[in-house]
Structures are given as C-alpha cells and as structure tokens.
Amino acid sequence: MSVSSLPIATLGTPRIGPRRELKAALESCWSGKSAEAALLEAAAGLRAANWARQKAKGITVIPSNDFSLYDQVLDTSAMVGAIPAIYGWKGGPVPLSTYFAMARGTQGDAHPQSCAHGSDGDGHAHGAPAQEMTKWFDTNYHYMVPEFANGQSFELSCLKPVDEFREAKALGHHTRPVLLGPVTYLKLGKSKDASLDPLSLLPRLLPVYIDVLRLLAVSGAEWVQVDEPCLVLDLDNATRDALRQAYDHLAHALPHLKIMLTTYFGGLGDNLDTALSLPVSGLHLDLVRAPEQLETVAAKAPQELVLSLGVIDGRNIWRTDLPALLDRLEPVVAKRGTDNVQIAPSCSLLHVPVDVALETGLDPDLKSWLAFSVQKMSELVTLGTALAEGRASVQDELGAAATAAATRKASSRVHDIEVARRVKGTTADMTKRNSDFAERAKAQRERFNLPAFPTTTIGSFPQTAEVRKARAVHARGAMSDADYEKFLQDETARAIRWQEEIGLDVLVHGEFERNDMVQYFGEQLSGFAFTKHGWVQSYGSRCVRPPILYGDVSRPKPMTVGWWKYAQSKTAKPMKGMLTGPVTILNWSFVRDDVPRSLACRQIALAIRDEVADLEKAGATMIQIDEAALREGMPLRRSEWKAYLDWAVECFRLCSTGVANTTQIHTHMCYSEFNDIIDAIAAMDADVISIETSRSKMELLDAFRSYKYPNEIGPGVYDIHSPRVPTVDEMTDLLRLARQRLSDGQLWINPDCGLKTRQWDEVRPALVNMVAAAKRTRHLAR
C-alpha cells in the first residue's frame, strides 16, 4: 500500500515499549541497580523505536515530546519551572532527582546522587512528599497535579521538547512537537492558597511558552501540536478569555509557526466559537466521543483552517468498520480538499496497548476484531489512502475491516439469552438495604465491638518477586496446582499473623492469588478475554493490562469464597471479603462498543451480587466492594453527569444491598474530587467508604463535612504511591485534620489504597506507624 498524500497523524504513542521496557528501566534506576545514564539510554532507544515504527507504518505527521519518563504534566511543570519550594530547587535545569522527587517523594535516608534520590547537592529536601496525583480527565491515566504559590514565577528550566525534536531530526524524522497547552496546564493545577486563581498566572507563564516555541521554530519545527483538552469541558468566560489571550500572544510572537490546537475526550459544544476564533492553523476534533460535531465544525470552520479528524478510537481496542467510516468522511474531504484535512486518532494512542500481533494466544476470531496502537496506525493510513486515492487503492484492507465488523456483530460468543432475561427481571427492591444506615450501624457496632478509630488496610499486600515468580512458574505448568495453592496459603497465613502481631483491627487476606483487581474477576466471568502484552500506562512505571469485555457477562461459579474461608479460619478477627465493584470493572476494562455501558454494567453487577450472597452465606460479616473508578467514568460535561451517576449508583446498590443489617458493606474510591458527586456517594449507602486523602492533606473530606455525610469513612493516612514511610507524627497530624472535619465515631484509619505495588520493607514500618498513630489518636480523644 502506498503512503497516503493526505497527512496522517498519531498525536502520541505508547511510551512504555512493547514489553514494558520503560518500566524495567525506571525501576532499575529507582532501586539503585542502574545509573541515570542507563535510564536515559533506554528512554532514547524507546523514542527512536517509536519514531521508526510510525514512519514504517506510513504515518506522515510523527509526534515528538509525547514521550515521558513519568508524566507529561509533570514534564510541563519541569519545563516552566513550577517546582514547589519543598523540593529545594534553586533555579537552572531541573535535575532528574528533583523530577522524580516530585513524582514519588523522597525518604530521609534515600541514596544520594542517583535515581534512588535523597538530597543531591543541588538540592531537594530530604523526606519530601510526592505531589498530588489524580486522574487525567476521564481516563485511567494519572497525572501529577501542578502546585502554584502566591508570587509564582516561571522560567524555562527544561528543554525536553526542543531536545527531543532535535533528537528525532538527527535520526531522519521531521516531527511535530507536542506541548500541553498553557490554559489546560493552569486549569489542571491548584494552589494551597484558595485565593489564588491559577488562570491569573497566565501572563507570567506565556513568555516561557513563547521561548520554547521560538526554540522549536529555530530548530526547524514548522508545526507544533498544542493540546488544550479543556476545550471539551464546561468553560466559564474567564477561561475562554484566557484562551484568546494565550493564543493571541503566541500568534503575535511567532506569526510563522503553525499550531495544531488539539482537543480530545469530547466535543467542543458551546466552546466551538471560541476554538474557531483562535489564531491557529489547525484544529483537532475527537470524532469518536463526539461524532455529531463533524458536520457543524466543517460548515463553520474557515476553509484555510486545517481540520484534524480524530476518527480512530484512541481509547479502545476495537477494529474500525472503515467502509462505514469512509461514508461519513468522503463528503467532508471532497469539500475541504486534502490540503486542509488530516486523519488522526481521537486522542493520543497512549491509552491503548502497543501491538496485537504479540498476542499469539488469543482466540483468532476475537483477535481479528482488535486493533492496538500499531494496527490503528495501519487503519489511519488505509483511511488516508482511500480518501486521497480512492477506495480501490485499498480494496483488500477495506474488505478485511468490513468482514471483521460483520463477524463480530453476528458472533454467538457475544450474546447470551439468559443474561438478557436476568437483566430484564431486575426490580427496584433489589437495590435497597433492609434498613437505613443508623439502624444498620447500631447492629454492626454490637456485632463487631471495634475500638474507636478502627484500623484496617484496603486489601492487597505486596506482590513480591517470589509471588510473581510462583505465579509465572505455575502458569507455564512447572508448578502443580496443589503446590501453588500451598504456596499461596502460606503467604496468606503469614500476612494474617503479621497483621495480628501489629494490632490491626480488621484484617485482609492480602490477595496473593490475584494478578489484578479487575483481571482476577474478569478471568472468572463469561464475556471477558485477556491479553499477555496488552499493557497501558497508569502512571510512571505502573502499568495495567485491562480485560477485554467483548460479550454478555455472567458468573459461572463462586470466585472468592474459598480464599475468604481459608483466611477467616486463621484468625478470630473480622476478615473482609474483597471484591471489585461493577462500575470499576467496567471502567478499567476495554469495553464493548455495541451496547450501552449501562447495560454492560448491570450484567456485571448481577454477577457480583451473586458473589456477595455466597460470601455472606459462607460467614463473611464485612464485604468490601471497591469502586475505585466510579468518579473517573463520569462524563466531562456536567449536563451528562446525572444519567451516568444514576446507573452507576444503581449498579453498586444492585450488587451490595442483598445482605443483612449486620453485614457491613465497605467500598473504596481512588483519587477523586467528591464535592460534585457527594449526593451520589451518599446514595451508594455503603456502611464504610475509604478514600485517598493523604496527598490532599484531608481536603477531600470537606465535601463530606459540608454534606453532613452520616456513614463511616476511612480517610487514607499513608500515601501508597510513594516509597516514603510516613512517620507516626505525620499520620497523627493527618488524623487531627480528619477529626476537624468529621466526628470521631465516623473515622476509620487505613492507607490510601492497596499495597500491591509496594515493598514489604516500606509497608511494614508504615503500617506499624499507622497503628501507633491510631493508638495515639485514641489517647488524644479520651
């Protein structure tokens, strides 16, 4: 197939490498096993491979600066010198040790002058906490929240965008550099001083952007991709004015540099006129999330404005019905001409795995329905060629795409009549507890007789090298089922004994048998499939391998009851049954796109309801149903929130309410802004909710205080996303802040999240300190 004469862009590609090479390099560096130079060499190799792969596939608009060692928002903070004082930066180039300190925090006894950072002489402070981290729009990717202060200044302190453009150029690739736009960057940030509006910092920030863009232009860049995804949000007039101010300044300073203004994750909606008023050369549209905007934008956009049509899904893995898509695109391209149109994915391909060709074990039919990053590049090139040269030029490719779409639609593996019948039979009574919370709480207090400020953990304990090795050996058949089960039982028993020794009040079994909190359940539910190499980045070196939800969902047999029974047999203390909730399973999977998300979620909820019933029947008195991803699944536009929250809360209640008053239902939520959804959280009616609050210094509890939330809450006091071990004083201080916001009787004490990704030498002292902080707080409360 010839290379298309119509420009084809990717907007960004996966950073981690086909076999998670970046993860290996980062963790080797952080552990002190290799030097920074080795990490930088590995990163350069990944960038070179990404550029070469795109060029070989026929991509003509190849990005640079889409790569990051940790996070692109953190990269921007480093670029503009937005380094909080706690990290000890004194100006000049930002050291890699400072960069990683912002991402991961530092421990007082950390090894200096290396990736395993402590004080490095230029230096950042010992014992500094990591910056706050939260979800990137409505994805499962996390970004480091920029932190601004009164008197905030900016300076060009990292030349990464320029260096990587030049690096690509030296390898023979003329790239389009990618920058996070200045307005979106400021809107993603926050200040400890509530009176400081981050947008007020725009006049100070723009000179740094102008410096970067000028250096890129001098280096030979003709186009720069500037991402302003804030344009798909509900914007006030101040933000619209800031966008006009920003791009007027950039255009005035660099009149010959072409900017591709990139929007994604939704439609422009009422921001369309603002976007079209900006002095930019191109505008990218997400036509997967908002296909309806194509005709409107094409009609209103000036003829000379290059439209980048984001028509291949950058966030899901289904192969595109290319002939059907061409039916919509051909009239637009015919009217605007190939010189004023580019073809692209809806957003960066960061959010999909690298290459489906690596999946040699997948069912052939299912595999034929899938497209990962490499396959999406081929789809883009096929579309571009068809639009530029006619369908006949890619007849075979279009035929294969149409066949895959038809086969998937007709497959008997996708539809289950019994599941449809059960969903149809769901009633309102199935989403209600027997009594209100006050009555349940009284019954539960009498049953459990726990101390004030009860301590627990969120579920998982470290998945050590030994655990991972045993799983791998068992998976390839070199360890018998009996030996593997014995190994897991020993790990579980050891974890239970240790929890009892340090004085935790409510125990967990550690989840050593689980590979992932979603995958573990998906592997035991019908309608799910799994990959070997389908990894995507969550943050830093943390990668996840989302299940593929391809068909109707049901539960063939109990999934967790056996392990709960074994664990409870080892202790007299309460042992939580641990489940992942239906909304989280949905939001952390690659979901089918042939039925509404709400329908798929109800199917999962009914399967989890069956598991809850079996756990209670087996004797479980506390059952935790994690909904870590409920917030991130919310639509970006407020007008669409209610519809989502209605079915999401209904699904949680559907799986959790069929229990006795004395059975305590817990749930857990990851990083979330709760103010806007507190009504929905209350409607979930979990007896206990645990949330991540340590990095926000308990600010997230303000929503619960203002609402007068009646149920019990476990605000996290241990930031598990950092290797730091918090002190007893730090945790006690966080509990003091929590007690200012909530009554003592509401409070539980727990880490922010599960401990799977941490090391035991971090977890042991941290949890010992947590129990000590609980005891100190009980003493203070007397």
Catalytic residues: 721
Residues with Cβ within 8 Å of 263's Cβ and at least 6 positions away in sequence, in order, are: 228, 229, 231, 232, 275, 283, 284, 285, 286
Neighbours of 130 (CB within 10 A): 20
Phi, psi of 191 (to 5 degrees): -130, 145
Contact 381, 3 (CB under 8 A): yes
Question: Angle CA(758)–CA(695)–CA(734) in degrees, nearest 5?
Answer: 100
Query: Using alpha carbons only, what angle is made at residue 311 by residues 308 and 314, rounded to the nearest 5 degrees?
Result: 100
Tell me whether residue 638 is exposed, middle or buried, using C-beta atoms within 10 angstroms of its C-beta: 0 to 12, 13 to 18, 19 or more.
exposed
User: DSSP letters along 349-418, please?
Assistant: GGGS-S-GGG-TTS-HHHHHTB--HHHHHHHHHHHHHHHHH-GGGGHHHHHHHHHHHHHHHH-TTT--HH
Phi, psi of 737 (to 5 degrees): -65, -40
- No. of helices (H) and no. of strands (E), the chain: 27, 20
Per residue in 690-721, is it b (16+ CB within 10 Å) or e — as a string? Answer: bbbbbbbebbbbebbeeeebebbbbbbbbbbb
Which amino acid, residue 283? Answer: L
CA pair distance 39, 30, nearest whole angstrom:
10
d(CA 608, CA 654): 9
Q: Which residues of 586-625 are buried (b: 16+ CB within 10 A; e: fewer)?
A: bbbbbbbeeeebeebbbbbbbbbbbbbebbbeeebbbbbb
Q: What strands, in cross-sheet order, belong to the sheet with 258-262?
A: 63-64, 176-180, 223-227, 258-262, 282-286, 306-312, 341-345
Nearest to 355 by CA among 8, 2, 53: 53
Distance (Å, whole) CA 307 – CA 283: 5
Minimal CA–CA distance to 342: which of 4, 622, 87, 3? 4
3-state secondary structure of 625: strand
The encoded tokens of residue 266 equal 């939704």
**HSE toward the beta carbon, residue 236, CA cutoff 13 A:** 3
Q: Which of 95, 96, 85, 91 is nearest to 129 (CA)?
A: 85
Query: Within a 10 A sphere around the Cβ of 85, how many other Cβ atoms?
Result: 11
**Closest among 250, 246, 222 to 64, alpha carbons compared:** 222
Rounded CA separation 580/584 (Å): 7
Cβ proximity of 37 and 158 under 8 Å: no
477: left (phi over 0), alpha (psi -120 to 50) or beta: left
The amino acid present at 570, given as its one-letter code, is: K
Q: How far lies 315's CA from each of 139, 536, 765, in Å? A: 9, 10, 39
Whether 232 contacts 267, CB under 8 Å: yes
